[in-house]
Chains A and B, each alone.
Chain A
């Protein structure tokens, strides 16, 4: 079997807030169809890593490459100090099309109906014809079990339904990679199950996904690879089998506590 294309490449990523290092030299490569879970204790830098990858946060050093397109790379500035230089606005706009992000607290647009939440970006950002955008949205809603909610407003839905709508909103732009930032942390256990089920189905369809999560059982079932982070570095990385059979005492302790 030939090697699948590399969709995302992060090399030696560094990020600090007010001089406090949050990411120290993180490298991560994600190939087409892979599901990668990122686990680790709070404050380990998982979310910051995701925010750097989705261009919500400027990284201080390292390289970020999507499908061979460089979003940012480290170059020396006039003083000879190394810093991250980002691609042009137009290039970044193009790069943004290759990924979607599902937030912990959904961030749906409250003034738009479920349908409008899903079709607005395709129509106004990607210039998809209205009819086609609606068709796409209807397919997604059916797939996520929300067909009867198209005309509802976000406040009328449960947290689990809102999170599924936000997944549909991200998928409507047909991204190559979907990021999840603790997608079930704001949900109770029952609603968590319905959202995880949706993500598992996406995994079956070979959607490339990077998931920051605290759900160990889920990570074990759904991932091709699990990355354990702590203090801004990747401590261990491997298949679920490898990670759950690790000899590293810190990783072992963390997994046993949560699993």
Chain B
């Protein structure tokens, strides 16, 4: 196989990798905020459910979660799912896993806000919602950006775990080509792709941090 066709195949897998990455972020970032609200809720039962959820998601391997989400419909309910379920299963597993991590990041950010900000807003007549949206959230966003960047970089690498249920993302394809040709090159090339992807992600996040450095 020529280098050109290897790169073309890897690129195909890379697109899948990007797709998993983007969809996971799009759903898990807002879901994480919702879970963090649950975690901070005054309603004890909601708080407990959120706590248990986060604990399980963080306490068990992501790979196991992917496999459970994929096989549960058949193993538990005897529902036959076609191979079309693979992709939704992987997205679902990634989203519920990453939402748990994001929830804890949001919570730490929200809880680190000084009480004075809430009190100043209250005396000025802001409603609870206005206070959160106008005063608290923008400042929390700035505070949580560095840990969010960390998670995002981890996510780029974690997408490779989709190979456990044979999703044709970049790592799966690199492993296949490498095994077929007993050649290390596809794996090294995949490594370069992951590295460049992360470099772009890190640079972008750094730019965002810079943009928010107009205040302290």
Contact assessment for B216 and A96 in the assembled complex, using a CB-CB cutoff below 8 Å = no
**Interface segment, A79-87, A106-114, A142-150?**
A106-114
Contact assessment for B126 and A121 in the assembled complex, using a CB-CB cutoff below 8 Å = yes
Contact assessment for B215 and A155 in the assembled complex, using a CB-CB cutoff below 8 Å = yes
B123: nearest chain-A partner, CB-CB: A101
Hey, what's the 0/1 contact readout for A68-112 against B, CB within 8 Å counting as 1? 000000000000000000000000010011011101010111110
Given the interface contacts A120-B134, A121-B126, A125-B125, does A109 sit within 8 Å of B216 by beta carbon?
no
Nearest CB in chain B: distance from A151 CB, A: 11
Contact assessment for A126 and B125 in the assembled complex, using a CB-CB cutoff below 8 Å = yes
Contact assessment for B125 and A96 in the assembled complex, using a CB-CB cutoff below 8 Å = yes
B122: nearest chain-A partner, CB-CB: A56
In the complex, A3→B124 CA distance in Å? 30
Indicate if B214 sits at the interface (CB-CB under 8 A). yes
A109: nearest chain-B partner, CB-CB: B135
Given the interface contacts A110-B139, A111-B215, does A125 sit within 8 Å of B116 by beta carbon?
no
Q: How many A-B residue pairs have CB under 8 A?
A: 57
Contact assessment for B125 and A173 in the assembled complex, using a CB-CB cutoff below 8 Å = yes
Indicate if A153 sits at the interface (CB-CB under 8 A). yes
Given the interface contacts A124-B134, A153-B214, A153-B215, does A103 sit within 8 Å of B124 by beta carbon?
no
Hey, what's the 0/1 contact readout for B190-215 against A, CB within 8 Å counting as 1? 00000000000000000000000011
Pick the residue among A103, A121, A154 that contacts B125 (CB under 8 A). A121
Q: Name A145-166 residues within 8 Å CB distance of B.
A: 153-155
Residues of B within 8 A of A100 (CB): 123-124
Contact assessment for B116 and A103 in the assembled complex, using a CB-CB cutoff below 8 Å = yes
Residues of B within 8 A of A173 (CB): 124-125
In the complex, A100→B120 CA distance in Å? 10
Q: Name B115-145 residues within 8 Å CB distance of A.
A: 116-117, 119-120, 122-126, 130, 134-135, 138-139, 142
Contact assessment for A155 and B117 in the assembled complex, using a CB-CB cutoff below 8 Å = no
Hey, what's the 0/1 contact readout for A119-132 against B, CB within 8 Å counting as 1? 01100111000000
Pick the residue among A54, A99, A101, A125 that contacts B126 (CB under 8 A). A125
Indicate if A169 sits at the interface (CB-CB under 8 A). yes
Contact assessment for A110 and B215 in the assembled complex, using a CB-CB cutoff below 8 Å = yes
Nearest CB in chain A: distance from B26 CB, A: 25
Contact assessment for B216 and A121 in the assembled complex, using a CB-CB cutoff below 8 Å = no
In the complex, A3→B25 CA distance in Å? 65
Pick the residue among B117, B123, B134 that contacts A54 (CB under 8 A). B123
Contact assessment for B119 and A97 in the assembled complex, using a CB-CB cutoff below 8 Å = no
Given the interface contacts A110-B139, A155-B216, does A103 sit within 8 Å of B120 by beta carbon?
yes
Contact assessment for A93 and B119 in the assembled complex, using a CB-CB cutoff below 8 Å = no
Nearest CB in chain B: distance from A19 CB, A: 23
Nearest CB in chain A: distance from B127 CB, A: 8
Contact assessment for B123 and A96 in the assembled complex, using a CB-CB cutoff below 8 Å = yes
Interface centre among A97, A99, A125, by most B CB within 10 Å?
A: A125
Given the interface contacts A155-B215, A155-B216, does A105 sit within 8 Å of B116 by beta carbon?
yes
Residues of A within 8 A of B (CB): 54-56, 93, 96-97, 99-101, 103, 105, 107-111, 120-121, 124-126, 153-155, 169-170, 173
